[in-house]
Chain A
Amino acid sequence: MFFYNLRLAWISIKQNVSLNLLMVCAIGLGIGVSMSMITLYAMMSGNPIPEKSDQLFAVRIDNWDPDEAYTDYQGRETQPFQHSYKDAMVLRSSTIPLRKAAMYKGYFVVEPANDTVAPYGQVVRMTDRDFFAMFNVPFIYGGVWSESANDLGERVVVIAKETNDKLFGGEDSVGRQIKMGEHQYTVTGVIDTWNPLPMFYDLNNKAFGDAELLFMPFAIISHSEFDRAGNTNGWKAERINSHEEFLNSENIWIQFWAELPDAFTQDAFKDWLDSYVLEQKKLGRFPRPLNNALDNVTQWLEVNHVVPDDNRVMLALSFMFLAVCLFNTIGMLLARFMGKVSVVGLRRALGASKFSIFYMHLVEVALVGLGGGLFGLLLSYLGLFMLRESVEGIEKLATMNLPLVLMAIALAIFASVLAGIYPAWRICQISPAHSLKTQ
């Protein structure tokens, strides 16, 4: 029955090609515009680490100005996103989390031993050794640096596959050295391509950038001074003229993550944080009310407004656009089906049930919807292409994956069938007598 209807639908569409093409265009435009927006939205609101996003927590304590709450870049009051060095050192010492890592961005110039590669600047993730196990970062060669290297801040480095390809031609480079600044750093491991989207562990500068290509121990900064990338915020007027004074200041520039696998450790860690802050209050620090926060990955993405409001508004507008296209299609379908009154009357007179007429027309509409979906896919590819061309760094977001492609087609068919229900219902009301009268 379905295939019979499909064949009938095809014949019917061929009878009025121009009107059907118009419908395909209308549905296609609606799908093209809305799928471009849905794609951006879906890519932006993805979960970067679904397997343990509810066990990883961004830790925040409110060490800010007593007179004024910390505000994010859009002026919303919140807990500070980062920590001072003093507090980070205490957080790093807690034994409650299963794993934990403090981190910030350093900036180093890599001077390759290989003359064919020119020196280049590189943002380096300075972090603790748990970073890799905590965030499920896959290693190809070697592994993370040792506990003692972590504590002492030894000059060791974990490099990404891309860096290994560039500097060592893709070989197992464990034990080799990389010169950065005045020092040599020994490679302990090479990780595979790893690019969580969004880059949830540090959302201060760019949510959808690339992960770093070099990783070195957090503690190197305890004995060396070097350039840092990323944000440094302060509220307290402090005279800072040396590296030591900077490390002892209330400036905040360090992110801290903890893996807390169950409610028990979560509560325990929260209590521990509170007791730390209360104890510090006695020493005159933390002038603000107790206001600590543990946010798991999903909550953290919300707190940071990773999906910009603009995208939500554009998504809503694009759905309204799709609605206009569908109402337009309903109008065209009504006109189209009116032209079939006599044929339908004849079918009814020959014994076709209302339902089979209804079904037959929905199949026809679905076929038009499929055409609209394919055309819409083409348009959304075009739209996303234009986006990639006009905005730097959006490549990974403005890309459709298979589920989104299937969704586009499903949405087109669903939407057109929805649009077809009323016209199909109208046409199946035709009385059998109709065909016998006029002609």
Chain B
Amino acid sequence: MEIRPILSAILRNKTGAILLAIQIALTLAVVVNAMFIVQQRLKFIGRPTGIDIENIIVISSQGFGSSYDHEQTVFSDLELLRAIPGVKYAAHISRFPLSGGGSRSGFTSTTDSDAESVGANYYFAQNGTIDALGVKLAAGRDFLPTEILTGEQIDNGVVASSVLITKALAEKLFPDGNALGNLVYGGTGDSSRVVGIIEKMHGAWVSWDGLNQVLIFPGLRKDSGQRYLVRTEPGQRDRLIPEVESVLEKASVSRYLDRMEPMSEMVGRSYDNDRVVANGLIIVIVLLVSITGLGIVGLASFLVRQRTKQVGTRRALGAQKYHIVRYFLVENWLITTMGVVVGTVMAFGLNYWTATEFSLPKLDPVFVPVGILGIWVLGVLAAAGPAKRASNISPAIATRTV
């Protein structure tokens, strides 16, 4: 291999090579970090929720006026909704999971006031709500109709006899694994018995690290705003939205509907920022790789054009076509590798900055070799054309003056 003469050729005409190496270094640094962030965000957005998000319609009904009766409205609304063909389940819940709105409080498994409490996102719901969410019970049972507290009872401080908790919360509260049938205590010392454990269910706030810690009380709070979950047969959701809307609009109740949309859209909004960051960075990666690819093509073509006569001479002196191709590919590889070496340092530097300044996670080092490999492949592909052209230079050119 003719590494030494190639190196000295590069050194004799440094500027172009240095410019390209800087571009490649910057590209590697940005692409590696961007790929890492994209991967993090997509993983974050794609976390399993435990909820049948794709087949649920979420509805908010806002009552008003002195004649409005929240309990009566909820019962008759749910009856109307359940009668619609294609609707599998319809149920009420105090707030929507994954909406960014909800309540949370600290809970313990003992009466000991020094015990560290575990934060959980809590809801009020009825029997059947877990079916409408599509969450699965890992153990125990759903609420019984007799356990559901009325709005009056909740206002008067009556404590729920039973409660459903997620497995994630159960593991925190009862590390020994005996959650089912045991008591969960709220801050004021009130306790409720765990009757069922939900395999998995996301709560309200996507960026809270306790997203999986959810607790459901049986009850229907006295509230002018009511929220319904309508779970449809698979694939029926979009078709049913107008029908669901017209059924509720026809009911003669003094209220208006202020939300009627697929749950997936509501959840999508909770992840808006992460999705935009991921999409934006994907665009940046694609553009950056294209621009750098063009830069490699540009420099390689320039070098080939500049050395037409030398190539002709080499060919005349017996070099094969593949010698010429190899020469230009190796030269290009040396330049990209210089860029890649600097770029690796820059990639870690950039990540160090984002990690210390902005509490972004530390770079997964696996992205660095992936990025390097990608840049090498890009380099070979981009230089292949000009190298091929060089190999086609006729040996006869050596005899002419160019």
Binding site for B on A (CB under 8 A): 22, 26, 29, 33, 73-75, 109, 111, 118-121, 181-182, 227, 236-239, 241, 308-310, 312-314, 316-318, 320-321, 323-325, 327-328, 330-332, 334-335, 387, 390-392, 426
Q: B65: CB under 8 A from chain A?
A: yes
The residues of A that contact B155 with a CB separation of less than 8 Å are: 241
Tell me whether A321 and B287 are in contact in the complex, defined as CB-CB below 8 angstroms, given that A119-B64, A241-B156, A327-B19 are known contacts.
yes
A77 CB to nearest chain B CB (Å): 13
Give the docked Cα–Cα distance between A426 and B207 (Å): 54
Give the docked Cα–Cα distance between A310 and B357 (Å): 11
Top 4 A-B residue pairs of the complex, sorted by shortest distance between their CB atoms: A237-B187, A109-B64, A309-B358, A241-B157
A sample of 20 cross-chain residue pairs with beta-carbon separation below 8 angstroms, ordered by A number, consists of A22-B294, A33-B283, A73-B205, A74-B359, A109-B63, A109-B64, A121-B62, A121-B225, A237-B189, A239-B188, A241-B157, A308-B273, A309-B359, A312-B358, A314-B280, A321-B30, A330-B19, A331-B16, A390-B272, A391-B273
Map CB proximity to A onto B325-361 as digits: 1 under 8 Å, 0 otherwise: 0000000000000000000000000100110011110
Q: B57: CB under 8 A from chain A?
A: no
Q: B256: CB under 8 A from chain A?
A: yes
B21-29, B127-135, B172-180 - interface stretch: B21-29
Map CB proximity to A onto B148-174 as digits: 1 under 8 Å, 0 otherwise: 000000011100000000000000000
Q: B118: CB under 8 A from chain A?
A: no
B85-93, B295-303, B313-321, B382-390 - interface stretch: B295-303
Contact (Cβ within 8 A) A328 B291: yes
Tell me whether A318 and B284 are in contact in the complex, defined as CB-CB below 8 angstroms, given that A119-B64, A310-B273, A324-B23 are known contacts.
yes
Q: B53: CB under 8 A from chain A?
A: no
Q: Which residue of A lies closest to B103 (CB)?
A: A232
Specify which of B187, B223, B288 is in contact with A321 (CB 8 Å cutoff). B288
Most chain B CB within a 10 A radius of its CB, from A238, A309, A313, A334 = A313
B156 CB to nearest chain A CB (Å): 6
The residues of A that contact B295 with a CB separation of less than 8 Å are: 327-328, 331
Q: Which residue of A lies closest to B272 (CB)?
A: A391
Q: Which residue of A lies closest to B157 (CB)?
A: A241
Specify which of A26, A73, A325, A334 is in contact with B15 (CB 8 Å cutoff). A334
The residues of A that contact B223 with a CB separation of less than 8 Å are: 227
Q: Which residue of A lies closest to B275 (CB)?
A: A390
A-B contact sample (17 more), CB < 8 A, given A238-B188, A317-B284, A331-B20: A26-B294, A29-B291, A73-B208, A75-B209, A111-B64, A181-B64, A310-B277, A314-B277, A317-B30, A317-B281, A320-B26, A324-B26, A325-B291, A327-B20, A328-B295, A335-B302, A391-B272
Give the docked Cα–Cα distance between A111 and B63 (Å): 11
Specify which of A120, A312, A328, A387 is in contact with B256 (CB 8 Å cutoff). A120
The residues of A that contact B187 with a CB separation of less than 8 Å are: 236-238
Tell me whether A121 and B258 are in contact in the complex, defined as CB-CB below 8 angstroms, given that A33-B284, A334-B15 are known contacts.
yes
Within 8 A of A (CB), among B259-276: 269, 272-273, 275-276
Tell me whether A391 and B156 are in contact in the complex, defined as CB-CB below 8 angstroms, given that A109-B224, A120-B256 are known contacts.
no
Q: Which residue of B lies closest to A438 (CB)?
A: B401
Contact (Cβ within 8 A) B292 A390: no
A204 CB to nearest chain B CB (Å): 12
A236 CB to nearest chain B CB (Å): 8
The residues of B that contact A387 with a CB separation of less than 8 Å are: 276
Most chain B CB within a 10 A radius of its CB, from A316, A324, A332 = A324
Tell me whether A331 and B299 are in contact in the complex, defined as CB-CB below 8 angstroms, given that A109-B224, A121-B62, A391-B276 are known contacts.
yes
Contact (Cβ within 8 A) B291 A331: no
The residues of B that contact A181 with a CB separation of less than 8 Å are: 64
The residues of B that contact A22 with a CB separation of less than 8 Å are: 294
Contact (Cβ within 8 A) B62 A109: yes
Q: Which residue of A lies closest to B63 (CB)?
A: A109
Give the docked Cα–Cα distance between A396 and B256 (Å): 28
Tell me whether A313 and B358 are in contact in the complex, defined as CB-CB below 8 angstroms, given that A119-B64, A227-B225 are known contacts.
yes
